[in-house]
Structure 1
Amino acid sequence: MQTVLGFDFGLKRIGVAVGNSVIRQAQPLTTIAAATNDAKFAEIALLISEWRPAICVVGLPRHPDGSEHEMSARCRRFANQLHGRFNVDIVLVDERYSSAVIPQKRGELIDAQAAAIILQQYFDEHA
């Protein structure tokens, strides 16, 4: 059994979800809302240490036509930083429309739910 962490990267918050290779069901885990990049990665380091994921899945935003935009590049950079800092395999998942299926709520829960949708999409595509 391998643990998989999913990330919904945002400039203000990062949603995190968890799942495993046996059950293949993603669950919202937490939202990281630290003020600085170093603080965000310190929180991620704690999660990596606790969950010891074999893979980290990062949502890659795109325009509806599939082309990339500014946030796509930022998400790729975040994914590269995860790989470089924690030596974990990274998979990018197209996250177009992932937030469209989440009931619109206020607060940080939506970020963790978005991460769970991204991670579930990974599980469904790699069945």
Structure 2
Amino acid sequence: MSDGVIIGFDFGEKRIGVALGNTLTRQASPYRIIDSRTVQSRWNGINALVREWSPVAFVVGIPRHPDGHSHEMTNRCERFARQLEGRFHLPVNRIDERYSSAVVDSEADFIDDEAACIILQQFFNESTSVDV
């Protein structure tokens, strides 16, 4: 297992929540929200993150219906995960994010970074060793 930073994402078409975590401490923290309304703004923001933090892996939340079946955003998040793999040639771990946004304060205007933090922390909690 490589020691280093893992970046977690809560993908959305308007905003992408970002969290950072460390493989040594296995703790996630909310970091920022990236504007995702255009492809250019999305990848400019992600490229800047990768340059700044030099991650060893990514974690992407994959939404599903409560019964586990896919819905429209499932495919979009899977595509985003594949694009991360193709662009950065780093491992991308996928986590079921069914309830991540429901866990954070639903009255907050923008909860995407908090949701990303929950997704990344769930990855650390469920992993006996980080796959990087």
TM-score of the pair, normalised by structure 2: 0.91
Aligned to 2:48: 46
CA distance in 2, matches of 1:125, 1:106: 27
Q: Structure 2: 5+ residue runs without aligned partners?
A: none
Listed as ranges, the matches of 1:60-99 within 5 Å are: 60-99=62-101
Deviation of the 1:99 alpha carbon:
1.1
Counterpart amino acid of residue 6 in structure 2 = V
> Is 1:35 the equivalent of 2:37?
yes
Q: Aligned-residue CA RMSD in angstroms?
A: 1.0
Deviations 1:16-43 (A, max 9, x none): 0000111111000000014311221011
Are the structure 2 counterparts of residues 64 and 35 from structure 1 closer, same or farther at C-alpha, using a change threshold of 3 Å? Answer: closer
Letter aligned with residue 91 of structure 2: D
**Between the two proteins, what is the percent identity of the paired residues?**
52
Structure 1: runs of 5 or more not aligned: none
Q: Which residue of 2 aligns with 1:125?
A: 126
Secondary structure in 2 matching 1:44: helix
- Asked if the contact 2:34–2:45 (Cα under 8 Å) also holds between the matched residues in 1, the reply is yes
Residue of structure 2 equivalent to 1:103: 105
DSSP 3-state at the match of 1:62: coil
| 2:55 equivalent to 1:59 | no
CA offsets 1:76-123 (integer angstroms, 9 cap, x no match) = 000111111111110000001111110123333x10000000000000
Whichever residue aligns with residue 118 of structure 1, its letter is I
* Alignment partner, residue 17 of structure 1: 19
CA distance in 1 between counterparts of 2:15 and 2:22 reads: 23
Match of 1:107, SS?
Answer: coil
Number of equivalent positions: 126
Deviations 1:49-100 (A, max 9, x none): 1111111000000011111111000000001111111111100000011111
TM-score (norm 1): 0.95
